[in-house]
Structure 1
Amino acid sequence: MIDIAAQIGATGREVDETGGLIRVRLTRDYDAEVADVWDAITDPERLPRWFLPITGDLRVGGRFQLEGNAGGEILHCEPPALLRVTFGGPTSLVEVRLTVEGARTRFELEHTVPVEFAGSAAGSLFVGPGWDGAVLGLALHLAGEVTDDPVAAANSLEAQRFNLASIEAWVSATTGAAPGDQIEAGRAAALAQYCPDVKD
């Protein structure tokens, strides 16, 4: 069983819209060495254990494809500290930074898209919960929890309840960054996508 409140509380969330760009940021500390976290997010043998299978030319300048999800180009790779890729399109950028925090590793993910791509900062309500699920999957993986099918686990009723709490956390993070009617529309779209079997 997932301790939903603890998992939601373990991740920091920020949303801002500046210079025609929307930035969605997640921050989480893991009880793992930075080399282990880096390996988990870059090793094609480990990624399917907590996220999705990946194929492609996994080097700077190469292209990748996540099974059933987005693909992109690897723009920058600096082990074990920085990974920058396009994600789903050339103007959609994801950057992951790892830093050592004592015996822990701080994981920071920033997803940046042009305003015209997401509509407004309320678009974070669709983007953020997807990354929350990945951050949770990574946490469980690093803690030694094993699942035979991470995709099925991500669609379970328990995961959908986690997603509901995630959406509400993203509503809080987005408040003030977008008009209220756009936030409510984004919330409704996110609920339909991430929580189809859960009533809020």
Structure 2
Amino acid sequence: MIDATEQINAVRRQLGRRVLEAGEARVMTISQTYDAPLEDVWDACTNAERIPRWFLPVSGDLRLHGRYQLEGNAGGTVERCDPPKSFAATWEFGGEVSWIEVRLTPVESGRTRFELEHVAHVDQERWDQFGPGALGVGWDLGLLGLASHLAADGSGVTPQESEAWMVSEQGRQFVTASSERWGEASVADGTDAGQARAAMERTTAFYTGAPTT
């Protein structure tokens, strides 16, 4: 498994807002640069045979206007696709609809910058309770899985191995650090520091089972 501290530090996390037809939405952006060529990262993110190796089993039609379903998680419709640069889709889960967009950019030395934007209407009560970490920790785990899958030294792990790692001490430390970083992003976005800290602790407890203070 990739070093947890190194992975946490390799990821950039930002928050913002966007006005949609249904009103103001929260925008979460998470990004990382991988030591892999653009075409390989694109294939890892769009190939139904590779996605389960680092994320979740997926079924459906992974083409423009096709429907997809991630096992035990979200499904949706592919709304835009510009291979090998970007794709966008609805993210439908628990009766709610949000939107994701993945953008890939080649950078120096044959590396690729992966950026995922998640746009969602989140009611204030739920935001106050858990903050951005409710979604953000999950995406951090996704980027960790992709990093492991793309590792040049072949150190990739299966999702099943990742589940076991999640309940290990290192896994709990990773989730805690991710939750803390999303709390910091929330403060940078204007949230009161005490409120952000309380939401971060509730999110950490949700993922790790640790008691809140």
TM-score under structure 1 length normalisation? 0.89
CA RMSD of superposed structures (Å): 2.4
Q: What number of residue pairs does the alignment pair up?
A: 200
**Pair 1:49 & 2:53 matched:** yes
Against the structure 1 CA distance between its residues 3 and 60, is the aligned structure 2 distance closer, same or farther, given a 3 Å change threshold? same
Q: Which moved more, 1:92-101 or 1:174-183?
A: 174-183
Unaligned runs of 5+ in 2: none
Q: Which residue of 2 is the match for residue 6 of structure 1?
A: 6
Indicate which of 182, 189, 193 corresponds to 2:206: 193
| Matched letter for residue 146 of structure 2 | L
How far residue 152 of structure 1 moved from its aligned partner, in angstroms, is 1.9
1:160 aligns with 2:169: no
Partner of 1:96: 102
CA spacing shift, 1:198–1:36, aligned 2, 3 Å: farther
After superposition, give the CA deviation of every residue in 1:109-165 in whole Å (9 maximum; x if it has no partner).
110112438844863121111000000110011003232425524633132221111
Contact 1:92–1:114 (8 Å) recurs in 2: yes
- Kindly state the Cα deviation for residue 57 of structure 1 after the two structures are TM-superposed: 1.8
Offset at residue 196 of structure 1 (A): 2.0
AA aligned opposite 1:146 = G
Q: Is the 8 A contact 1:27 1:107 kept in 2?
A: yes
How far, CA to CA, are the matches of 2:127 and 2:212 in structure 1?
Answer: 26
Matches of 2:211 and 2:53, distance apart in 1: 25
Q: Displacement of 1:74 after TM fit?
A: 0.8
Residue 77 of structure 1 corresponds to 81
Instruction: For residue 68 of structure 1, report the CA deviation from its aligned partner.
Output: 1.3
CA distance in 1, matches of 2:186, 2:50: 32
Alpha carbons 1:40, 1:46 under 8 Å: kept: yes
Secondary structure in structure 2 of the residue aligned to 1:170: helix
Query: Which 5+ residue runs of structure 1 have no aligned equivalent?
Result: none
Deviates more, 1:143-152 or 1:74-83: 143-152
**Which residues of 2 match residues 103-182 of structure 1 at below 5 A?**
103-116=110-123, 119-120=126-127, 123-143=131-151, 144-148=154-158, 149-153=160-164, 155-157=166-168, 158-177=170-189, 178-180=191-193, 182=195
Query: Does 1:16 pair with 2:22?
Result: no
